A and B are shown apart, each in its own frame.
Chain A
Amino acid sequence: KTQVEQSPQSLVVRQGENCVLQCNYSVTPDNHLRWFKQDTGKGLVSLTVLVDQKDKTSNGRYSATLDKDAKHSTLHITATLLDDTATYICVVGAPQGGRALIFGTGTTVSVSP
């Protein structure tokens, strides 16, 4: 079973609109959660990391929440730009162990003019 599930799998938004991405996970222990942006054919760029039991972060037009009790995170993109077109990957990290990071399969966001 997939340990980190993201939804929707893909979405299309018009430039200037807001969008929300969801991440549900079953990883234990869940030391932290990170959201990455991956442009097509490129590496992963970290957007934010959430650590606390109930956490909120903000990085420009990106904001995120984490609820460890619910094992749920959201990523909000405000006033989308064409450059926001990418795949957004949710990653859950354990404090120790061989598999240090558990990756979701991503949400592909397409921003149209």
Chain B
Amino acid sequence: EAGVTQSPRYAVLQEGQAVSFWCDPISGHDTLYWYQQPRDQGPQLLVYFRDEAVIDNSQLPSDRFSAVRPKGTNSTLKIQSAKQGDTATYLCASSLGLSQNTLYFGAGTRLSVL
């Protein structure tokens, strides 16, 4: 069974540049999460979806970050104008509902903003 796939694996940007991260969840998983994990810290939830609907984006910096899941399958997280403080690993996870037995994480995208 294919796992959660993320791309790219790495990204290096100058401040002010834009970047998009892509996530392909496990087939059939209706719930998709995006987390930000700064170096040496635990992941912090940014946003999560049930199908195409945003359930909680309260921790998403709305002025520069956006996330979509238009068909309830793949998802894209975009940073419009990156800052050095955005340097982190961005993890995508998916599950069937909130069932923790089906929760799987992707390998992440490691972002460095210079």
Residues of A within 8 A of B (CB): 4, 31-32, 34, 36, 41-46, 49, 89, 93, 95-101, 103-106
Contacts and interface: CB of A to CB of B under 8 A. Distances in A.
B91 interface: yes
Given A49-B101, A93-B100, A42 B108 contact: yes
Nearest to B35: A103
Interface in B43-75: 43-45, 48, 55-56, 58-59
A31 B40 CA distance: 26
Contacts of A34: 100, 103
Contact of B44 (A49, A89, A100, A103): A103
Interface residues of B, number: 26
Interface of B: 4, 33, 40-45, 48, 55-56, 58-59, 89, 91, 93, 98, 100-101, 103-108, 110
Nearest to B91: A43
Given A41-B89, A41-B110, A100-B98, A46 B42 contact: no
Contact of A43 (B41, B44, B58, B106): B106
Contacts of B105: 36, 43-45
B53 to A, nearest CB: 13
Contact of B107 (A42, A89, A98, A106): A42
